[in-house]
A = this chain, B = another copy of it.
Amino acid sequence: MSEPFRVAIAGLGTVGAETLAMLRRQAGPWASRGGRAIEVVAVSARDRQRDRGVDLSGIEWFDDPVAMADQAPAEAFIELIGGADGVAKASVETALSSGRHVVTANKALIARHGAALARRAAEQNLALGYEAAVAGGIPIIKTVREGMAANSLTRIYGILNGTCNFILSKMRQTGRSFAEVLEEAQALGYAESDPRFDIDGTDSAHKLSILAALAFGFEVDFDSVYVEGIGGISAFDIASAEELGYRIKLLGVASLQADGVEQRVHPCMVRQGTPIAAVEGVLNAVVAVGDAAGSIMVEGAGAGAGPTASAIIADLVDIARGNVMPAFTIPASQLGRMRGKPMEAHRGCYYIRLTVRDQPGVIADIAAVLRDEEVSMEAMLQHGRADSEGKSVPVVITTHETSEAAMRRAIATIDTCTAVLEPSSLIRIETL
């Protein structure tokens, strides 16, 4: 029997404690799968005294994760501290420069510094494992990097944030408003007390930028991701989507085009009956589109201690077996610089929601604005009438394919019309 594979864990929050507990239990069959047992030899966390429900006996304690990264008698360093910079980044860099493999669940770190860290790892033939950073327990990194190795990927997209998907699903089921459902999600523990990074799309954007780099073979380019959250989605939008045959999902979409890479996170209307439309509640799902395999969708729990620990240990088992792959599929030295396409250049179909005064001629005025921007209308819905002429009514318009730039100009002009009573809102229709 070969020597155990020794690891050090930095960060003992719920994920760190669960990873430690699973490794200590050795309940899973990874010892035989890895060919080597995996032993936790060192840990580091903020508070040594806190009871985490895990036995720490026989494990070396470090107050400073950077010191642990440098000195622990471990072949791999597991970073579960969080944050794009600071001690998380310093400890990962130290681990790599001292010859240790790194496994991390830190999406912000990889989104911001993935390419540089991958190069550092590659220089020493070390692994940089980040399966746990994207979509929790779903093995999407392995699926794209290895399972779809024979494919040129042209598109990768998905539901990357369970909190947002829970909220949108619940809004549809109950007809309630965003604010009401958010409160419920917080009470249930599906949304943080400060839910900004989830709701505003940042969390999804971190994950999307990592997937795009992996799928297309570029350096991660988080800054070129267009990001829009779900805070502007109304109960009326959800109901309109349903009526038009769509569901509203917060998607991250990356596509490789002749003139660059489009990376965008925003609410989308997706056709009912498509696999992604059927993903409900806190689940995550990612669809990777390859030239040989077609569309492969992987769906499962995108967060939580168990699923995240599962992904961390899968990375460890690979490394323990000697399966050290380039972090972003191709050698880090060959990763190109991504040419990000601006959102204004996006082409697609659109849903717009207008609040207008119920009086003759308003639709004609709006239609004229759209015509002037060469935006072709597909459908128009105006249900019911205001109580009396002159009161406000909602109007929904869907368009054929057009450019984002034209659409934005049209909306800006429409919003100057005196009969338009509130800022109009726009949701992109995604053809999958």
Asked if A176 is an interface residue, CB under 8 A from chain B, the answer is no
Question: Would A139 and B146 be within 8 Å (CB), given that A275-B278, A292-B306, A298-B297 are in contact?
Answer: yes
Binds B, one of A3-11, A57-65, A314-322, A348-356: A314-322
Asked if A152 is an interface residue, CB under 8 A from chain B, the answer is yes
1/0 contact string of A287-330 vs chain B (CB within 8 Å): 00011111111111100101101111110011001110110011
Contact B152 A143 (CB under 8 A): no
A280 neighbours in B (Cβ, 8 Å): 273
Q: Which of B293, B312, B313 contacts A301 (CB 8 A)?
A: B293
Contact A310 B298 (CB under 8 A): no
Contact B321 A292 (CB under 8 A): no
* Distance between Cα atoms of A338 and B292 in the complex (Å): 36
* Distance between Cα atoms of A28 and B153 in the complex (Å): 9
A201 neighbours in B (Cβ, 8 Å): none
Contact A313 B149 (CB under 8 A): yes
Q: In the complex, which residue of chain B has the Cβ closest to the Cβ of A150?
A: B313
- Measured as residues with beta carbon below 8 angstroms from the partner, the interface class of chain A is 35 or more
Q: Which of B33, B139, B313 contacts A143 (CB 8 A)?
A: B139
Question: Would A152 and B29 be within 8 Å (CB), given that A142-B143, A143-B147, A292-B137 are in contact?
Answer: yes
Q: Which of B30, B150, B273 contacts A310 (CB 8 A)?
A: B150
Question: Would A33 and B321 be within 8 Å (CB), given that A139-B148, A275-B279 are in contact?
Answer: no
1/0 contact string of A129-168 vs chain B (CB within 8 Å): 0010000011100110111111110000000000000000
Kindly identify, within residues 203 to 221 of chain A, every residue whose CB is under 8 Å from any CB belonging to chain B. Answer: 217
Q: In the complex, which residue of chain B has the Cβ closest to the Cβ of A19?
A: B150
* Distance between Cα atoms of A317 and B149 in the complex (Å): 7
A-B contact pairs, 24 of them (CB 8 A): A28-B151, A28-B291, A28-B292, A29-B152, A33-B145, A34-B149, A137-B293, A142-B142, A149-B314, A149-B318, A150-B312, A150-B317, A151-B310, A275-B278, A291-B306, A292-B309, A292-B310, A292-B313, A293-B307, A293-B310, A294-B307, A295-B300, A296-B300, A321-B323
- Report A's interface with B, CB cutoff 8 A: 22, 27-30, 32-34, 131, 137-139, 142-143, 145-152, 217, 273, 275, 278-280, 283, 290-301, 304, 306-307, 309-314, 317-318, 321-323, 325-326, 329-331, 334
* Apart from the given pairs A30-B149, A34-B149, A146-B317, 12 other A-B contacts in the complex at a CB distance below 8 Å: A22-B150, A27-B291, A28-B291, A28-B292, A29-B149, A29-B330, A137-B292, A139-B296, A142-B147, A148-B314, A321-B323, A321-B325
